[in-house]
């Protein structure tokens, strides 16, 4: 059997750049914990870190990168434009670069297809939408501040609107979306692939207090393989062909989540595919507009 090398595996984006298959997530990583988590991850071999302006931890993520001793050019760093910054894309990237203490990010994502009024976060920004935001984000390409641009939380409906707009000259390199066995989104993944957009999995473990850890199918496969349920969930995502962004601030978990040079059998994969329970970690009820339309997001 061919050797499985998930820890050095990359996916080639539509720009030709390569995104490492496993990245460290940092949402809800508390202040005082992220710097160390990033260092632990980079020392364990991770070369991909995911943050966002909205997480409020870019500064600490940057400190972790700087203290790790791993050269910046070996790290794939992603951050995201916050909803209240849609009309201020140039300012948004400058703010993130400053906080992170870096000259560029490898991937800059529109966090949500929702432009929120900064003066009233309960309101949609009048006369503006994500197509306008993307028009502005496209201007960042070639400035040296971003290597790739992409989107997040886009379902098929919003991707169609974006891609069909005449102002859309650059196809997003990535769509970062919720993907785990409770929200596998096969139609959306297939749609992304058909357009050359790499799907990247957020909440790949099912997020905090994940019900997947106690799922019988996952638990049995983990037992049979001598792996943890979390490792089984990550292997499933990697074998589906997307990048996975497990978050942890716990050193032994960070290390375990990167011990991934092995694979599930086709039978094990199809058992996980057959888990019927559906759940979603990130909805859109907190946004001023609807962004999910039940079309398999
Ligand atoms: N684009 C978006 O809108 C969006 C939305 C959500 C998430 N994300 C990104 O995706 C990343 C991952 O998603 P997520 O943070 O929601 O959840 P996740 O990675 O699916 O799960 C994180 C949770 O699992 C725990 N955990 C991690 N490894 C474990 C292990 N080996 N054993 C037991 N528990 C373990 C963590 O605890 P400890 O940390 O306490 O160890 C944490 O509570 C985020 O951090 C963020 O970077 C993006």
Contact 173, 140 (CB under 8 A): no
Nearest residue by C-alpha to atom 38 in ligand 1: 248
**124 marked as binding residue:** no
Question: What is residue 31's predicted lDDT score, i.e. its pLDDT?
Answer: 87
Burial category of 89 from C-beta neighbours within 10 Å (exposed 0-12, middle 13-18, buried 19 and up) = buried
Count the neighbouring beta carbons within 10 Å of the beta carbon of residue 247: 23
- 295, pLDDT greater than 80: no
245 Cα–ligand 1 center, Å: 7
Question: What is residue 1's predicted lDDT score, i.e. its pLDDT?
Answer: 56
Question: What is residue 252's predicted lDDT score, i.e. its pLDDT?
Answer: 98
Is residue 107 in contact with ligand 1, taking CB distance under 6 Å? no
User: Percentage of residues in the chain with pLDDT exceeding 70?
Assistant: 99
Contact 51, 57 (CB under 8 A): yes
Cα separation, 86 vs 229, whole angstroms: 38
Is residue 182 in contact with ligand 1, taking CB distance under 6 Å? no
151 Cα–ligand 1 center, Å: 19
Q: Hey, which residues are catalytic here? A: 55
Is residue 176 in contact with ligand 1, taking CB distance under 6 Å? yes
Pocket probe mutation, ligand 1, options 49, 111, 246, max atoms within 8 Å of Cβ: 246
Classify the C-alpha dihedral 278-280-284-290 as positive or negative.
negative
Is residue 47 in contact with ligand 1, taking CB distance under 6 Å? no
Ligand 1, residue 209: give the atom nearest the CA.
43
Paired residues of 10 in beta bridges = 20
Nearest one of 72, 76, 26, 17 to 53, comparing CA atoms: 26
- 209, pLDDT greater than 80: yes
Is residue 245 in contact with ligand 1, taking CB distance under 6 Å? yes
For the chain, the first-to-last Cα distance in angstroms comes to 35
Contact 192, 152 (CB under 8 A): no
Question: What is residue 296's predicted lDDT score, i.e. its pLDDT?
Answer: 83
Cα separation, 76 vs 65, whole angstroms: 11
Q: Which of 45-59, 85-99, 159-173, 282-296 is predicted with the least confidence, judged by mean pLDDT? A: 282-296
Q: What is the mean pLDDT of residues 98-106?
A: 98
User: Percentage of residues in the chain with pLDDT exceeding 90?
Assistant: 97
- 4, pLDDT greater than 80: yes
Q: What is the mean pLDDT of residues 15-38?
A: 96
3-state secondary structure of 15: coil
164 Cα–ligand 1 center, Å: 33
Quote the DSSP letter at residue 146.
B
- Residue 297's pLDDT band (cuts 50, 70, 90): confident
Question: What is residue 259's predicted lDDT score, i.e. its pLDDT?
Answer: 98
The tokens for 248 are 């942890």
* Per-domain boundaries in the chain: 10-273
Question: What is residue 191's predicted lDDT score, i.e. its pLDDT?
Answer: 98
Quote the longest CA-to-CA distance of the chain: 58
Contact 128, 119 (CB under 8 A): no
Strand pairing report for 18-20 and 76-81 = unpaired
Architecture of domain 10-273: Alpha-Beta Barrel (3.20)
Q: Mind listing the pLDDT tens digit for each residue in 252-285?
A: 999 999 999 999 999 999 999 999 999 999 999 9
- 293, pLDDT greater than 90: yes
Question: What is residue 2's predicted lDDT score, i.e. its pLDDT?
Answer: 67
Q: Mind listing the pLDDT tens digit for each residue in 39-66?
A: 999 999 999 999 999 999 999 999 999 9
Paired residues of 233 in beta bridges = none
């Amino acid at each position: 059997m061919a050797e499985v090398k998930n820890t050095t595996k990359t996916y080639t984006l539509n720009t030709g750049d390569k995104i490492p298959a496993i990245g460290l997530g940092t949402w809800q990583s508390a202040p005082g914990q992220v710097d160390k988590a990033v260092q632990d991850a980079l020392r364990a071999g991770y070369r991909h870190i995911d943050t966002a302006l909205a997480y409020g931890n870019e500064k600490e993520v940057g400190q972790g990168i700087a203290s790790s001793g791993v050269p910046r050019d070996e790290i794939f760093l992603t951050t995201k434009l916050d909803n209240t910054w849609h009309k201020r894309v140039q300012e948004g990237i400058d703010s993130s670069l400053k906080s992170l203490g870096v000259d560029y990010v490898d991937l800059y994502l529109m966090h949500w297809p929702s432009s929120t009024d900064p003066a009233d976060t309960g309101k949609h920004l009048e006369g503006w939408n994500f197509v306008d935001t993307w028009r502005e984000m496209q201007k960042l390409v070639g400035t040296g501040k971003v290597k790739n641009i992409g989107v997040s939380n886009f379902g098929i409906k919003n991707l169609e609107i974006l891609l069909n707009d005449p102002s859309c000259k650059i196809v997003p390199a990535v769509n970062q979306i919720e993907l785990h066995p409770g929200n596998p989104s096969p139609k959306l993944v297939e749609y992304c692939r058909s357009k050359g957009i790499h799907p990247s999995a957020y909440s790949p473990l099912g997020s905090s207090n994940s019900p997947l850890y106690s799922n019988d199918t996952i638990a049995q496969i983990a037992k049979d393989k001598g792996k943890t349920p979390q490792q089984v969930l990550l292997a499933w995502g990697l074998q589906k062909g997307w990048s996975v962004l497990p978050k942890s601030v716990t050193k032994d978990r960070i290390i375990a989540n990167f011990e991934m040079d092995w694979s599930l059998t086709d039978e094990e994969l199809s058992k996980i595919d057959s888990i019927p329970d559906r759940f979603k970690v990130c909805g859109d009820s907190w946004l001023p507009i609807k962004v999910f339309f039940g079309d398999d997001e």
